[in-house]
Structure 1
Amino acid sequence: MPIRVIDVISFEDHGDPRLLETRGLKGRYIAISHSWGRVVKPFTTTKNIESLKKRIDFASLPKTFQDSIFIARKLRVQYVWIDSVCIIQDDGEDWTREAKTMGLVYQKAYLAISASESPGDHAGFLTQSLQVKMGVVLPYCPADTASGYIYLRGTFTAASSHNAQL
């Protein structure tokens, strides 16, 4: 796992997530690729990291982060990785080290969510008219002919983001 993740399921006495330093911990996590939007506010800094390890106020999170945590909880995935939360934004050494491993963070994720259609973190990506474009490539190998692939594409539309069956 990455050096830091957001623990969205293991709570002591509250329902809010917390920042967790993994220290070699193994587990599944969801990685989020998101649009910060026009207004970029650093989330995790050297000044607030210790308090975020105790508790991240869910209500104060941008909508995109809330949507990501909602999906992780529905899928029963305990950890979420979001760059602006899991990388200390005002620590150049931390940023440089973590930026070098970002490709692996997405590659090793149980699920990578791309919220690229959202105009910014404030807007979220689960909306009343949620549409998820899906593509699947299946290997095809009939007995007497050359092998190939079948490409399936479709769109899933949910009536309500938090009532959708994920």
Structure 2
Amino acid sequence: MGKISNEELLSKIDAQFPGQLTSTGEPFGLLTLETGREHIIDILTWLKNDPVLQFIYLTDITAIHYPETEKPIGVIYHLHSLVNNVRVRIKVFLADGDTHIPTATTLWNGANWMERETYDLFGVIFDGHPDLRRILNVDDMTAFPMRREYPLEDPNRVDKKDYFFGR
């Protein structure tokens, strides 16, 4: 149990950034916030530099892809306050044709590799990143492997025909 509850943390963030959080929740006890790309760096900077909260540890930056939604690409930030033993997840959703978001390398040096991985697998472009290039896949690859932009099954498979199952 941390020194700061999720309710107290949410009230502090909401007081500092009124109207900038579009959605909140606590799945599995982890405070989850949603904001826009224009506010993300301000929120991350405040969480890191606030003398009480001290979210100095960037656990992860990753992304998700929900192809059926209006804004299918989501960039996810996980932060940890080692002093208060509390974690927070911040999500920013982006439209498919506009996957630009400001870089967090100005706050954490470790964000460099996390952002490169997210770019390589999901195609999210981190504006201001010092060296945004592929890290896991070949340089001339045009697709992003973690996006759900492929059919779930091979339509040419013959062992999946209905008549094999009495249908």
TM range (shorter): under 0.3
TM-score (norm 1): 0.27
Higher relative contact order (CA 8 A, sep 6+): 1
**Higher Rg:** 2
